[in-house]
Structure 1
Amino acid sequence: MVRRSIALVALASAAALSVAGCGSEKKEAPEVAWAGRACGVMTQSSPLPVPKLDNASVLKSKASFVQLLDGISDRMRTLEVKLSGLGAPPVEGGDALLRTTMSNLTRTHSTVTTASRQLAKAKVNDKRSLQQAVGRVGKAFGQYNTYQGPEQDLRKNPKLNAAFGKAPACKK
């Protein structure tokens, strides 16, 4: 008798759960879900502090610039790993779109990393040498500043662009 009661309770619970799953809750389209995960990855970091220039010490100022570039590089590396971990977006041409996006991100990341290393190695002993060293890495700053990020590349696909507009995580 106890076995039969337990079986009936289990069967009733299973039936209730299956009926609850058929409610009015609408499931997101796969591309909307993917866009939401991508937005979650792309918005995880907070702004980096602007380097403080120390007029009394050009070496501290140089170190501040190197620290900024290293911080940007670390964030870009993390973004590369997490974004590639999502896999290709579930849209036509998604594999190619992700490859292009990752290529642009990797190229910009590489430029920033190279600039950081060059600045770290630069011999700086006065304001003028600091200005020259920072000027030589200006190209990296330029490329980084003009790079609009992976979302810009991903939005080139019309279906994925619409998905970014629908995903709740992208509206924040």
Structure 2
Amino acid sequence: MVLRMIGGIALACAVALPMAGCGDDDKPDPKVAWAAKVCDGVKRNTKKVQAPSLDPRSAKKSRTAILTFLGDMNSQLSAQATSLSSAGSPPVGDTAYRTALANLSQVRTELTTVSASLEKAKVTDMKSLTRTLSSYSAKMSGFGAYQGPAKELRANADLNAAFGETPQCNGVGV
């Protein structure tokens, strides 16, 4: 009699637990959890960067504004790299992740190079500033075309879907 009761309880539990939602289906999708972590980090560490305000009467003020802008951009890219690194490799392979980190690093290196060169350049008037900046025009246009790590990460179909499913990613450039 006791064995029948235990058997009946076990059978009832076996049927009731999955219906109650207590099975493994409640575990969050690791891809979505990873995407949420990335988007939370990007939101927390990214601020809007103002374009430089140039003063046509002062080449030195204009250069300072450009250097400030480049420094702010570099800081934002650094924050994105830190957020991405702290999230770790995604659970669906790391090719897109490694590409995103490599491109962030490359753009940051180029920004640093342009900033250092602009800092050292002899700028006495707007003409000399324009001449100095024109030597960096190819690199600077590359900065404008860079879309951040979103493009590389979304190249992975699984990550692209995870970013779409994650509420934390709404309104984030990922």
TM-score with structure 1 setting the length: 0.79
Aligned runs of 1:89-128 on 2, under 5 Å? 89-91=90-92, 94-128=93-127
Q: Post-superposition shift, 1:21?
A: 9.2
* Residue matched to 1:28: 28
Preserved CA contact (<8 Å) 1:36 1:168: yes
Whether 1:40 and 2:48 are equivalent positions in the alignment is no
User: Match of 1:38, as an amino acid?
Assistant: V
Ranges of 4+ aligned residues in structure 1 off by more than 6 Å:
none
Q: Which runs of 5+ in 2 are unaligned?
A: 1-19
Amino acid at match of 2:33: A
Matches within 5 A, 1:1-172: 22=22, 26-43=26-43, 44-91=45-92, 94-172=93-171
Alpha-carbon distance between aligned partners in 1 of 2:128 and 2:75, rounded to the nearest angstrom: 26
Report the Cα offset of residue 35 of structure 1.
Answer: 0.7
Counterpart position of 2:15: none
Structure 1: how far apart are the matches of 2:114 and 2:129?
A: 14
Matched residue SS, 2:52: coil
Number of equivalenced pairs: 150
- After superposition, the CA RMSD in angstroms is 2.1
Identity of aligned residues (%): 37
Aligned 8 A contact 1:31 1:163 in 2? yes
Return the alpha-carbon distance in structure 2 between the equivalents of residues 71 and 106 of structure 1: 15
Contact 1:118 1:137 in 2 (8 A): no
Q: CA deviation at 1:27?
A: 4.0
Q: Secondary structure at the match of 1:109?
A: helix
